[in-house]
């Protein structure tokens, strides 16, 4: 395992192959480029389908999520208010069903603008 994060799910469970990296969590593979690993680029947050997210986007859940510390569940398909991207364990800060919550990008999909 390494300190490199997967560009799809941003988890750090990454295996080193001969010429590529492989994420243990989501199975995503990408080309290994050792000379650029030390210089991080701009942070890109992608949803479960690989769409790039930005501040102000609206997302919906792709699966039911149980809220910690209680018996409440956010149902799949629930839409958020416009999101805000944040640093930390959860990439997305938003309001959903009247509650302020933090979400991981791998559990949401971007809702197309009308």
Averaged over successive runs of 10 residues, the pLDDT of the chain (114 residues) comes to 73 83 85 60 85 94 87 91 90 91 93 83
CATH 2.30.30.40 matches 46-110: yes
pTM for the structure as a whole:
0.62
Give Cα separations from 12 to 5, 29, 75, 105 (angstroms).
4, 13, 28, 15
Q: Which CATH architecture has domain 1-41?
A: Single Sheet (2.20)
Model pLDDT, residue 40: 57
pLDDT at 18: 79
pLDDT at 93: 94
Q: Write down the pLDDT at residue 79.
A: 94
Residue 14 CA to residue 57 CA, distance in Å, equals 29
3-state secondary structure of 4: coil
pLDDT value, residue 19: 81
Cα dihedral angle (48, 96, 99, 95), rounded to 10 degrees? 80
Q: Beta strands 92-96 and 99-103: pairing type? A: antiparallel
Q: Where in the chain is the domain with CATH 2.20.25?
A: 1-41
Determine the straight-line distance between the first and last CA of the chain, rounded to whole angstroms.
42
pLDDT value of residue 1: 44
Give the pLDDT score at 105.
Answer: 92
Give the model confidence (pLDDT) of 50-70 as tens digits.
Answer: 999 999 999 999 999 988 777
């Amino acid at each position: 395992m390494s300190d490199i994060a997967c560009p799809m799910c941003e988890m750090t469970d990454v295996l080193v192959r001969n010429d590529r990296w492989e994420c243990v969590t989501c199975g995503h593979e990408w080309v290994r480029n050792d000379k650029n690993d030390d210089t991080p680029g701009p942070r890109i947050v992608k949803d479960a389908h690989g769409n790039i997210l930005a501040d102000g986007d609206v997302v919906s859940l792709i699966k039911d999520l149980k809220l910690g510390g209680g018996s409440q569940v956010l149902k799949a398909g629930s839409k958020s208010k416009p999101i805000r991207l944040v640093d930390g364990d959860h990439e997305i800060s938003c309001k959903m069903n009247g509650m302020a919550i933090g979400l991981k990008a791998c559990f949401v999909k971007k809702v197309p603008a009308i």
